[in-house]
Amino acid sequence: MPQKATRLTAAAAASVAALLALSACGGDSGSDATSDAKSKASASPSEPSPMTLADPKPADAKKVDSIKITEGKGKKAPSITLKDKPLSVSQTTRTVLDKGTGKTLPDDAYVEVDLAMFSGKDGKLIQGSETYSTAPIVLTLGNEGSLPGLVKSLKGQKIGAHGVAVMPPEDLFGEQGAPQFGVDGKDNLVLVYDVRGVLPDKAEGTAVPPKKGMPKVKFRADAPAEISTEGVTKPKKLVTEKLIEGKGEEIKKGDQVYASYTGVRLKDGTMFDSSFKKGGQPYPFVVGQPGTIEAWQKAVKGAHVGDRLVFVAPSKDGYGKQGSPDGSIKPNTDLVFVMDILAAN
């Protein structure tokens, strides 16, 4: 459970985290983890959403169509050749080179995507912007804090889609640019992308028989898990068990983890928070960085993507003698969580 809800951008993988995290901003404190993890933006019926791709202007579409893409071999990133330099467009414009055969991405999807960004001035790869040689990152299409050009370019696509888009400064880093990456406030960027998939909505792996003395859990796909704490002993230290053993990568320090969860009080089993309270969106947090209670940090250490964990946390690994900032968790309260680890990068 987060100590402070944090609105994150599209950043995740180490190679692009710094580049894509420039527009991150903090949310409000509180026990509701999803209060800022999901976009609250809404446009009036008479106005287009700022996160929706507009119909392309012919001049812009012609410029994007003229970009030559050379696909990389193996795990090598693609490269581009620009016909006209510098390249600029009046609005974010994309060309879909392969529509893909998978399902259409929901507007609030957590999308796994490979991408590479190039300078519109000379077509050179932007430092630290490509993921083809590492692993796909997770982009949050419903997050108003994300870089709008990325979101616009991917919304409405299908899994398996491949394309190219050009994004003007207002849909990227604004007038300030990103000088540490050689991007000024006037630069357009070229995005090459491949949509790999979407995050699963639950843990996927092999069921593990529940152990005696641990909370009894009844998982529900579209609602908070039912957790019975009857007969569970007050813990002296964090106790963690797997209910599902995933087959994904092991969680490491520095990874951004995407998890769904439900939390209850050990004393009486009453729920105080769940990612299913506000639409079921997974909650992102970074292992080894402030933002979540110690119990979460300890529980995911050594776990794998696809795991479903149940853990009993003594108050010292939760909110301790102070309780939660909003008062929903009283001082010295022991907690129980069920967590599905959906992705990490």
Compute the average pLDDT of residues 327-333: 95
Do 7 and 25 meet the contact criterion of CB atoms below 8 Å apart?
yes
Mean pLDDT check: name the lowest of 7-11, 159-163, 302-306, 335-339. 7-11
129, containing H or E segment: none
Secondary structure letter of residue 316 according to DSSP: G
Do 24 and 9 meet the contact criterion of CB atoms below 8 Å apart?
yes
Q: Kindly tell me the number of DSSP H helices and DSSP E strands found in the chain.
A: 4, 18
Give yes or no for residue 248 having a pLDDT over 70.
Answer: yes
173-to-131, 181, 185, 233, 291 alpha-carbon distances in Å: 20, 11, 7, 52, 25
Q: What share of the chain is helix, strand, coil (3-state, %, to 5)?
A: 15, 30, 55
Give yes or no for residue 107 having a pLDDT over 70.
Answer: yes
Distance CA 135, CA 15 (A): 9
Give the confidence band of 273 by pLDDT, cuts at 50, 70, 90.
very high
241, containing H or E segment: strand 239-246
Give yes or no for residue 315 having a pLDDT over 50.
Answer: yes
Greatest CA separation for the chain: 71
Alpha helices for the chain (secondary structure H): 14-20, 58-65, 148-154, 294-300
Give yes or no for residue 25 having a pLDDT over 60.
Answer: no
Distance CA 253, CA 242 (A): 20
Q: Whole-number mean pLDDT of the chain?
A: 84
Mean pLDDT check: name the lowest of 128-132, 246-250, 338-342. 128-132
Compute the average pLDDT of residues 227-250: 96
Give the confidence band of 320 by pLDDT, cuts at 50, 70, 90.
very high
Give the confidence band of 36 by pLDDT, cuts at 50, 70, 90.
very low
Compute the average pLDDT of residues 55-79: 94
Compute the average pLDDT of residues 253-264: 93
Distance CA 274, CA 261 (A): 6
Give yes or no for residue 342 having a pLDDT over 90.
Answer: yes
> End-to-end distance of the chain based on CA atoms, in angstroms?
19
Give the confidence band of 108 by pLDDT, cuts at 50, 70, 90.
confident
Per the structure block, which two tokens stand in for 51? Answer: 């996160």
Give yes or no for residue 338 having a pLDDT over 70.
Answer: yes
Q: Give residue for tokens 């996927």.
A: 204
Give yes or no for residue 41 having a pLDDT over 70.
Answer: no
Give the confidence band of 30 by pLDDT, cuts at 50, 70, 90.
very low
Give yes or no for residue 38 having a pLDDT over 80.
Answer: no
For 74, other C-beta atoms within 10 Å of its C-beta total 6
Distance CA 262, CA 259 (A): 10
Give the confidence band of 12 by pLDDT, cuts at 50, 70, 90.
very low
Give me the amino acid identity at 290.
P
Secondary structure letter of residue 21 according to DSSP: T
Give yes or no for residue 49 having a pLDDT over 60.
Answer: no
Mean pLDDT check: name the lowest of 34-48, 50-64, 147-161, 226-240. 34-48
Give the confidence band of 28 by pLDDT, cuts at 50, 70, 90.
very low
What pLDDT, on a 0 to 100 scale, did the predictor assign at position 257? 92
Q: Which domains does the chain have, with CATH numbers?
A: 58-198 (3.10.50.40), 205-344 (3.10.50.40)
Distance from the Cα of residue 46 to its chain's centroid: 30
Q: Which residue(s) pair with 338 in the sheet?
A: 262, 310
Query: How do residues 147-200 score in pLDDT, each as one tens digit?
Result: 788 889 999 999 999 999 999 998 888 888 888 778 888 889 999 999 999 999
Where does residue 128 fall: left (phi above 0), alpha (psi -120 to 50 degrees), or beta otherwise? left
Q: What angle do CA 119, 121, 124 make, to 5 degrees?
A: 40
Give the confidence band of 33 by pLDDT, cuts at 50, 70, 90.
very low
Distance CA 62, CA 339 (A): 48
What pLDDT, on a 0 to 100 scale, did the predictor assign at position 132? 93
Give yes or no for residue 44 having a pLDDT over 50.
Answer: no
